Amino acid sequence: MTKLPVNSRSYNFYPSILESIAEGIVVIGTDKKILFINKMAKALIGLGDENTEGLACAEVINTDLCSKNCPLDSSDSNTSCSHNAYLMNIYLHKKDASMVPLCLNVAPLNDEKGNMIGIIENFRPMSEAVRVIESLEQSNVLLSQEKNKISSIVNSLADGVFTVDKDLCITSFNKGMESLTGQKEPDVIGHKCSEILHADNCAGDCPFLHTMKQGYGRANVMERIEGKDGNVFPVLISTAFLKDGSQDTGLIATIRDASELEKLRKEVNDRYKFSNIIGKSDPVQQIFELIETLGYTDCAVLIEGESGTGKELVARAIHHESDRRNKPFVKVNCSAIVEGLFESELFGHVRGSFTGAIKDKIGKFEQADGGTIFLDEIGEMPVALQSKLLRVLQDMEFEKVGDTKTVRVDVRIIAATNKNLKNEINANNFREDLYYRLCVVPVQMPPLRERREDIPLLVSHFLGKLSLKTPNRPAIAEVTKTALAALMDHDWPGNIRELENAIEHAFIRTKTNIIDIDSLPLSVTRDLENSSIRETEKSPSAGEKTEKHHIQMLLRKYNGSKAKVAKDLGLSRTTLWRKFKKYNISVN
- Phi, psi (degrees; rounded to nearest 5) at 464: -65, -40
Which pLDDT score is estimated for 429?
94
Q: Would you say 587 and 580 are in contact if contact means Cβ atoms under 8 Å apart? A: yes
- The rounded distance, in Å, linking the Cα atoms of 120 and 158 is 10
Q: Would you say 134 and 22 are in contact if contact means Cβ atoms under 8 Å apart? A: yes
The answer to whether residue 404 scores a pLDDT higher than 50 is yes
- 92 by Cβ neighbours in 10 Å (0-12 / 13-18 / 19+) ranks as buried
**b/e for 93-104, b at 16 or more Cβ within 10 A?**
beeeeeebebbb
- Could you tell me where the beta strands, DSSP code E, fall in 98-140? 99-110, 116-125
* Mean of all residue pLDDT scores within the chain: 80
Which pLDDT score is estimated for 577?
82
For residue 450, the Cα-to-chain-centroid distance in whole angstroms is 23
More reliable by pLDDT, 159 or 265: 159
Domain edge (last residue) among 262, 297, 320 = 262
Q: What percent of the chain has pLDDT over 70?
A: 80
Q: DSSP letters of 8-59?
A: TEEEEE-HHHHHTSSSEEEEEETTSBEEEE-HHHHHHHT--S---TTSBHHH
Confidence tier at 45 by pLDDT (50, 70, 90): confident
More reliable by pLDDT, 139 or 34: 34
- Give 114's contacts (C-beta < 8 A, 6+ positions apart): none
Q: Tell me how long the chain is.
A: 588
- The rounded distance, in Å, linking the Cα atoms of 489 and 182 is 49
The answer to whether residue 127 scores a pLDDT higher than 60 is no
List 373's β-bridge partners, or say none.
330, 413
In a domain, 246, yes or no: yes
Confidence tier at 219 by pLDDT (50, 70, 90): confident
Please tell me whether residues 371 and 311 are part of one structural domain: yes
- Highest mean pLDDT among 71-85, 261-275, 459-473 belongs to 459-473
Confidence tier at 585 by pLDDT (50, 70, 90): confident
Please tell me whether residues 422 and 530 are part of one structural domain: no
**b/e for 494-512, b at 16 or more Cβ within 10 A?**
bbbebbbebbbbbbeebee
More reliable by pLDDT, 133 or 455: 455
- Highest mean pLDDT among 98-102, 154-158, 329-333 belongs to 329-333
pLDDT digits (tens, 9 = 90+) for 130-176: 343 333 333 333 333 444 445 555 555 667 888 898 889 998 888 88
Closest CA to 291 of 269, 270, 312, 320: 320
Q: What is the domain-level CATH number for residue 333? A: 3.40.50.300
Closest CA to 174 of 107, 126, 261, 222: 107
In a domain, 269, yes or no: no
Range from 346-350, 384-388, 545-549 carrying the lowest mean pLDDT: 545-549
Domain edge (last residue) among 426, 446, 466 = 446
Confidence tier at 8 by pLDDT (50, 70, 90): very low
Please tell me whether residues 106 and 194 are part of one structural domain: no
Please tell me whether residues 461 and 540 are part of one structural domain: yes
Please tell me whether residues 287 and 240 are part of one structural domain: no
DSSP reduced 3-state for 122: strand
More reliable by pLDDT, 493 or 563: 493
Which pLDDT score is estimated for 493?
93
Please tell me whether residues 188 and 243 are part of one structural domain: yes
Please tell me whether residues 363 and 439 are part of one structural domain: yes
- The rounded distance, in Å, linking the Cα atoms of 232 and 223 is 10
Mean pLDDT to the nearest integer, 367-390: 92
Q: Would you say 585 and 551 are in contact if contact means Cβ atoms under 8 Å apart? A: yes
The answer to whether residue 229 scores a pLDDT higher than 90 is no
Which pLDDT score is estimated for 137?
34
Residue type, 257: D
In a domain, 169, yes or no: yes
Which pLDDT score is estimated for 307?
93
Which pLDDT score is estimated for 265?
58
In a domain, 292, yes or no: yes
pLDDT digits (tens, 9 = 90+) for 512-534: 888 988 899 988 887 665 454 44
Please tell me whether residues 212 and 342 are part of one structural domain: no
Mean pLDDT to the nearest integer, 4-16: 44
DSSP reduced 3-state for 219: coil
- Highest mean pLDDT among 141-150, 154-163, 254-263, 444-453 belongs to 444-453
Which pLDDT score is estimated for 157?
60
In a domain, 136, yes or no: no
Mean pLDDT to the nearest integer, 319-324: 91
pLDDT digits (tens, 9 = 90+) for 485-516: 889 888 999 999 999 999 999 999 988 888 98
Confidence tier at 543 by pLDDT (50, 70, 90): very low
Mean pLDDT to the nearest integer, 175-181: 87
pTM (2 decimals)? 0.51
Mean pLDDT to the nearest integer, 182-198: 90
**Domain housing 80:** 2-129
- The rounded distance, in Å, linking the Cα atoms of 530 and 534 is 7
Which pLDDT score is estimated for 468?
79
- The rounded distance, in Å, linking the Cα atoms of 502 and 398 is 45
Tell me how many domains the chain contains: 4
Please tell me whether residues 280 and 177 are part of one structural domain: no
More reliable by pLDDT, 81 or 231: 231
Please tell me whether residues 439 and 458 are part of one structural domain: no
Domain edge (last residue) among 446, 469, 502 = 446
Q: What is the domain-level CATH number for residue 523? A: 1.10.8.60
Q: Would you say 347 and 401 are in contact if contact means Cβ atoms under 8 Å apart? A: yes
Which pLDDT score is estimated for 368?
94
Range from 65-69, 225-229, 321-325 carrying the lowest mean pLDDT: 65-69
- The rounded distance, in Å, linking the Cα atoms of 393 and 375 is 13
Please tell me whether residues 316 and 458 are part of one structural domain: no
Which pLDDT score is estimated for 234?
85
Q: Would you say 224 and 233 are in contact if contact means Cβ atoms under 8 Å apart? A: yes
- The rounded distance, in Å, linking the Cα atoms of 346 and 407 is 12
Which pLDDT score is estimated for 161?
87
Confidence tier at 269 by pLDDT (50, 70, 90): low
Confidence tier at 12 by pLDDT (50, 70, 90): very low
Helix or strand holding residue 303 (H, E) = strand 301-304
For residue 215, the Cα-to-chain-centroid distance in whole angstroms is 27
Which pLDDT score is estimated for 128?
44
In a domain, 588, yes or no: no
In a domain, 382, yes or no: yes
Helix or strand holding residue 388 (H, E) = helix 383-395
Which pLDDT score is estimated for 131?
42
Q: What is the domain-level CATH number for residue 61? A: 3.30.450.20
The answer to whether residue 272 scores a pLDDT higher than 60 is no
Mean pLDDT to the nearest integer, 385-406: 90
In a domain, 134, yes or no: no
Please tell me whether residues 69 and 29 are part of one structural domain: yes
Cα–Cα distances (Å) from 346 to 283, 328, 362, 364, in that order, read 33, 15, 9, 5
Q: DSSP letters of 311-336?
A: HHHHHHHHHHHSTTTTS-EEEEEGGG
DSSP reduced 3-state for 264: helix
- Phi, psi (degrees; rounded to nearest 5) at 213: -75, -45
Q: Would you say 318 and 301 are in contact if contact means Cβ atoms under 8 Å apart? A: yes
DSSP reduced 3-state for 581: helix
